[in-house]
Amino acid sequence: MKQPPSDVWLILSAWVYKSLIFTLPKEFRRHYAAEMTLVFRDCCRDAYRRAGFYGLIGELSSSVLDLIVNAAKERILILISDKFDRSFFLATAVLAVTAGIFAAFTDLHNNNTETPLLLILTFGFALGFVHPRVFWLSGSLIGLMMPAIHFIALVRGWRVEYPNDSSTPLWAFLTLLPALTSSITGAGFRLILKIIWGRLN
């Protein structure tokens, strides 16, 4: 039998898992997050005893996959439920799509990447800050507009400021990274401000 895993690996895997628990809706987290983390830690200890470090990695991967799939299901359930505020959701979606299209058209008519990148970061941060509950939506939509517009430009043969071939829309998917990062940062920044404000009052 193997020795129990070192605290470092256990703490690290629990930290990764706990960070990702935030993908679950607040209501669900409030009831079950603490217990889920506890169960996950027990699973990790068991997995390490059975199969060592690779067992621990296997347990982490399967638990994270389980978490992400179920978080997506929960989010979809909320979206189709009566409790969901559709107008709020729609407003965020429209704003994000508009911002994404604006950034994409700026990119089409610009030879440098700095300007559209700056726009994406600004819009992502702003929408994440204003609507933190749906930061994932604004980040995804802003990021997805770039490949969508590039694809349309390619199909329709629009004139762009740089060589546009079939690989450009695929490369444009990379925009998802800054878009999601900035919207998460915006939402996180608002959370920090809220905590500070709460402490001050």
* Interacting residue ranges for other proteins, rule: CB under 8 A: 24, 28, 31-32, 34-36, 38-40, 42-43, 46, 62-63, 65-67, 69-71, 73-74
Which residue bears the tokens 């507009």? 145
In the bound complex, what is the minimum distance in angstroms from residue 43's beta carbon to other proteins? 7
Question: d(Cα 190, Cα 63) in Å, to the nearest integer?
Answer: 29
Token look-up 């450009």 returns 168
Instruction: Let me know if 138 is exposed, middle or buried by CB neighbors in 10 A (0-12, 13-18, 19+).
Output: buried
**Nearer residue to other proteins within complex by CB, 26 or 194:** 26
Question: Is the CB of 32 or the CB of 53 nearer to other proteins?
Answer: 32
Output b/e per residue, 26-54; b: 16+ Cβ within 10 A.
Answer: eeebeeeeeebeeebbebbeebbeeeeee
CB of 176 to other proteins, least distance (A): 24
Provide the minimum distance between the beta carbon of 69 and other proteins in the complex, in angstroms, as a whole number: 8
Q: Are the C-beta atoms of residues 125 and 186 closer than 8 Å to each other?
A: yes
Two tokens, residue 124: 């992502």
CB 17 within 8 A of CB 63: yes
Question: What minimum distance in Å lies between the beta carbon of 73 and other proteins?
Answer: 8
Pick the closer one to other proteins by CB: 40 or 48.
Answer: 40
Least distance (Å) between residue 36 CB and other proteins: 4
Which CB sits closer to other proteins, 22 or 162? 22
CB-based contact 103:116 (threshold 8 Å) = yes
Residue-level length of the chain:
201
Residue closer to other proteins (CB basis): 74 or 160: 74
Residue (72 or 94) nearer to other proteins, CB = 72
Minimal distance, residue 66 CB to other proteins, in Å? 3
